[in-house]
Structure 1
């Protein structure tokens, strides 16, 4: 039986390599996980690029989740995209399984064709979150493009 979510895809990449991960201009949700924030200009360019790929929901996780959340909101404001209804949320204290479930199931529940972008500053630091996200994507019979 074919799942209506088979057109959903997960892209997993370090934050500094997003340009090479072949995102398309489709509805996109982003989970950005980081424990360090030291290059504001590069991060803001990354957010602007993700917005160009039609990112509609940004989630942040990690030790600097609140800082990343605020910087994403700044970019949305700077680009005057507030009227587009782009959502942002910081997650730092929630259980990883709940974050993964929310990222995959609640950020674009009505869309058949969605790109999930999971970006991180250090893959080893976020292996558990990566496994939880992949588990949720697999439940939908969606595809991995990592």
Structure 2
């Protein structure tokens, strides 16, 4: 008789947040707490990278994807089998697609967030909102060993 191991669980955290700076901060903090609970400890390189990416994507949703009275949605998943963490941030502004800044804006009005995402994530992109309705989802994937 051979014993088989139960399949590994893909961790999942999903929540809506107000499209405000406070909502973005709360999303970042809850993602950081969830990563720690999943075996990616606070202070580790993987934790810091995923948390920074989550922070940038949430800040962009508030700054560039905000529609008055509408929330943004965060989906954080982690697959222990592949060591992949995926962060998805969905807002309701489908006409404002993300793009990398080729130079720092003269007015100093941001522009560096997606450069950080590009540099830190293994992959990132944008897709139409999967649940229908207006909006887009900006996502990023990172390798993070230690998931349990």
Determine if the TM-score, normalized by the shorter chain, exceeds 0.5: no
Higher CA-based Rg: 2
Richer in helix (by share): 1
> Please, what TM-score do these two structures have when normalized by structure 1?
0.32
> Please, what TM-score do these two structures have when normalized by structure 2?
0.32
Structure with the bigger RCO (C-alpha within 8 Å, sep 6+) is 1
